[in-house]
Amino acid sequence: MKEILVEANLLPEAYHKALEALHTHGDVISCNDWSQNQKEVSLTMVVKTPLAEPIISKLFIGGFRELQQYVMEVLDGILDFKIGEDTYWEYTYHDRMVNFPTVSGNVNQVEFVINELKRSADSRRAVINIRDNSIDPFNENPACLQHMQFLIRDNKLHCKVLMRSNDAAKATFMNAFAFIMLQKQIADALGVEVGTYSHRANSFHCYEKDFALLQQYIDGINKGELKDVTYEYEGLFKDMMEESIPEIEELVRELKN
């Protein structure tokens, strides 16, 4: 199984390099659970300055509204109420982050990370665990995100993410953007700058049904310059995301009803 490392200053640059690496070096193997083939590598994507512009890639499924909703799912838990509705909703990342079950009671791991790094800025213990072995081994849709570690070095908060599985064409960019927003939220609470973001996917893959979509992404990357396949986040894109919040909140109310 091929091991790939990609690094870049900007999030879209790193993400696009990751797509290119998968396209070029990925092995086509069977994926019997989903009755199709997949292209796959193991990949680590390092973003050196995750809040530097441009932050938004045009090469992901969705737009400003879908990205805003996903950020709200991860940071605010707007869909936590769906847990238990069926096997797909055995968990949300947010609920696992802030309401993780232990023998001593449920733990808010985000608060733990903040308090731990306030206790000791050089701590290596500031970890958010997502995998729950009382549920995930028996779930048809176990959590892809496994854990996140936060370290302060040189007065910057660095974030290390481990995914057991990551859909390159349809999930990776939204995952990374939301996790970077969480990194910023924690950095702000600690009064430090945002450092590097590292995104490790043991299975970084694209399903056969999405091979054509991956090819479209690669064609877009190769056709023009970075500015042609990115947006700046601060300004219009961020404004449009925030303006979509009432619509998203109304959708959540309808789902609850």
Q: What pLDDT sits at residue 251?
A: 96
Domains of the chain in start order, with CATH, are 3-256 (3.30.572.10)
Average pLDDT over residues 147-175: 98
Instruction: Give 98-146 pLDDT, tens digit per residue.
Output: 999 999 899 999 999 999 999 999 999 999 999 999 999 998 889 999 9
In tens, the pLDDT along 148-159 reads 999 999 999 999
List all residues 6 or more positions away from 119 whose beta carbon is below 8 Å from its beta carbon: none
Please report the pLDDT score of residue 47 as a whole number: 98
CA end-to-end span of the chain, whole Å? 47
Structure-token match 């938004």, residue found: 56
pLDDT at 88 over 80: no
Q: Please report the pLDDT score of residue 87 as a whole number.
A: 60
Q: 55 pLDDT band (50/70/90 cuts)?
A: very high
Q: Contact 177/63 with Cβ under 8 angstroms?
A: no
| Residues contacting residue 121 through CB under 8 Å, at least 6 positions apart | 152
pLDDT mean across residues, the chain? 96
Q: What angle do CA 217, 210, 82 make, to 5 degrees?
A: 105
Question: Using CA atoms, how far apart are residues 197 and 46, in angstroms rounded to an integer?
Answer: 6
Tokens of 187: 């950095």
The answer to whether residues 50 and 8 touch, using CB atoms and an 8 Å cutoff, is no
Q: What integer pLDDT is reported at residue 140 of this predicted model?
A: 85
Which residues does 163 contact at the CB level (< 8 Å), separation at least 6? Answer: 144, 145, 146, 175, 199, 200, 201, 202
- Residue 234, pLDDT above cutoff 70: yes
- Label residue 82 left, alpha or beta by phi (over 0 means left) and psi (-120 to 50 means alpha): alpha
Instruction: Quote the pTM value.
Output: 0.96
Q: What percent of the chain has pLDDT over 90?
A: 92
Cα–Cα distance measured from residue 189 to residue 13, given in angstroms and rounded to the nearest whole number: 28
